[in-house]
Chains A and B, each alone.
Chain A
């Protein structure tokens, strides 16, 4: 007889039930059904974690993502057995984490410039993380569709609140266990399960969310997210699967800052 696991949200570095104590049944398990309050708590945690995570050196962020790849790889048998996880999906997810682990300290050179202005000034532009990013994972692939954008967001130094696939939430909850053992600071990634229609409006309209990744949304959901996003000029990004491994996906969650200084004796 097996020892069954109670699956919990990964929120602010801890494993917790929904504040509402609600659950729903998915993949044969009782899974937390998060509320608007859980979303707000997660955004608060992500905001609090932002200064620390974005302040790490790019090299250090790479090390943490590499550690996450190690941890996921070590659990590949467990995750691969979960219903709905496709063949090769775990390996691809490990690959995505490795890919972004190696990208963190390339972004400034890929997305930055020195600007040859017509005057006695030294001017450069560099990408900086946008802040807190909401991620809406697609129904399928439930693991890879979450890991790839999450790794892209984290690689640039932003922090995340991700909504897992509602039908296949278990891979996301196991991913939480992976991240918790990867030296990722508490709150840098928060994983919520539940119904998107209950969580999305709060996430999209939240004034402390800087960008929302909507590739997991259907057309109607996406329109609603875009409408709500306009209230605080939130960036809306949709990443096509063929862009899951691309520096431009990471750069889509970054801002460009230009700095000027005079040159003189």
Chain B
């Protein structure tokens, strides 16, 4: 019902204004999928081999664009996790004592293999997760390969990276990653861990495990010693078993703030190390003097990139009051040109929502926005009949107290608020428990730095948004987590001292 209501409201709004601009007609440009062979049944990767899980649970991995099953993954139970941790423990001694330059070579190899097999991995990523192929191909894969290449180079320079601290690896690291950037998050986790001399047990998200399992084949090709990388698939119970395992020296988690808090509570008193990369509710702030067309592109990239399944998405647009009508006009027009649909089509801008559960969460939050009195706009783009889809959505007339302005939606939904002074923009931007990222658009350099200083977030994008690089530390303030990934700072959580 709520969905229908939303759609009706959308149609009304779209019809009621002249902002809607039709996208050009493009012929479909589908990426071929024959390069990917997906086994009907997947297994766990432990000690360098694919093995059947002791756990009986099985999860069907769907293509969210068609709702057709792609494969079946196994749900690792406590015994499987224990087996994986033991394999990682056994591998730790030789791996951590390997001459650092040789450790670097393995990590370099993984980077090269990611480049060599990037087409295959990109197609699989889009099939399994629903993200547009142009994004898997141009963002996720190049960044994942770059991440391994960057950290490979640190492996034999740890003493220079941390002078006077006598760095040493920690042991077995337990890592849990989300479904929004499956392979890229794997790279963010595994690359620094291996470079520092740790061994890992990683659990991918249950809706997007396939590229992590294909990565195991890259480990084979790299002749990575067995047990250095172990992949256990499954849902929350698998993750919980991994976090609780006494053989784990450190936990690294990327996901929701809710689960992050649970993990932090779980590890209380254990003496084990923890880094958390959690949710966000980023403000994207546009001043009246901004280059407005660039800002519009930045806003669109900030919230509709990857269907808004981005922890640092610019989900709260703060516009200086004097330009709000003009900016919103341009924004609505631009929304009408976004192509929503087949992730494998090279023209697609917005792909499929990752899962039914996520679609329902987005729908319910959007319904709450309508109920609380916000004004909804959605372009009239055609959606495929099957699969999980959500139109790019824009809310105006939003108060800071509305759920859509406070809670992370993790979908293509933008809430627009206005401000008059820089002080008000800062106050509104910081009025959240999160603190992951923020954007600021202005042509005035001193104001950029003034704003950047005052926003309590880990990443500030000025006159740009959603840029990532292995050399640039990324992570949150406050309830967006602690610890950094990327750069020299991203190496530190994987090392002990003395």
Contacts and interface: CB of A to CB of B under 8 A. Distances in A.
Interface of A: 113, 115-119, 121, 123, 125, 130-131, 207, 210, 219, 222-224, 226-227, 229-233, 235, 248, 255-262
A258 B474 contact: yes
B261 A119 contact: no
Residue picked from A222, A248, A255, most chain B C-beta under 10 Å = A255
A131 B262 CA distance: 23
The 4 A-B pairs with the shortest beta carbon distances in the complex, nearest first, are A223-B269, A226-B268, A230-B264, A117-B469
- Residue of A223, A229, A248, A258 with most partner-chain B CB within 10 A: A258
Given A125-B489, A229-B264, A256-B473, A219 B257 contact: no
Interface residues of B, number: 42
Nearest to B263: A230
B314 to A, nearest CB: 13
Given A115-B473, A259-B452, A261-B464, 18 more contacts: A115-B469, A115-B471, A115-B472, A117-B469, A117-B471, A121-B464, A125-B473, A125-B489, A130-B477, A222-B269, A230-B261, A233-B278, A233-B482, A256-B473, A257-B458, A258-B458, A259-B460, A261-B463
Contacts of B461: 260
Contacts of A262: 463-464
Interface string B347-362: 0000000000000000
Contact of A233 (B146, B462, B478): B478
B128 interface: no
A113 B479 contact: no
A234 to B, nearest CB: 9
A128 to B, nearest CB: 8
Given A113-B487, A118-B469, A233 B475 contact: no
B441 to A, nearest CB: 11
Interface in B220-274: 257, 260-262, 264-265, 267-269
20 contacts: A113-B489, A115-B469, A115-B471, A115-B472, A117-B471, A118-B146, A118-B469, A222-B269, A223-B268, A226-B265, A227-B265, A233-B261, A255-B477, A257-B457, A257-B459, A257-B460, A258-B459, A258-B487, A259-B459, A261-B448
A115 B458 CA distance: 14
A24 B377 CA distance: 64
A230 B460 contact: no
Given A113-B473, A115-B471, A233 B257 contact: yes
Contacts, number: 107
Nearest to A120: B464
Contacts of A123: 469, 471-472
Contacts of B265: 226-227, 230
Contacts of B146: 118
A67 to B, nearest CB: 25
A223 B488 CA distance: 30
Contacts of B475: 256
A43 to B, nearest CB: 15
Contact of A125 (B261, B264, B267, B487): B487
B486 to A, nearest CB: 8
Contacts of A231: 261
B467 A125 contact: no
Interface string B40-64: 0000000000000000000000000
Given A256-B484, A261-B463, A261-B464, A233 B276 contact: yes
A257 to B, nearest CB: 6
Contacts of A116: 471
B165 interface: yes
Contacts of A131: 456
A258 B471 CA distance: 11
B29 interface: no
B222 to A, nearest CB: 23
A124 to B, nearest CB: 9
Contacts of A222: 269
Nearest to A223: B269
A211 to B, nearest CB: 9
Contacts of B459: 257-260
Contacts of A117: 467, 469, 471-472
A232 B479 contact: yes
A211 B153 CA distance: 33
A132 B311 CA distance: 25
Most central of A119, A207, A233, A261 by chain B CB within 10 Å: A233
B433 interface: yes
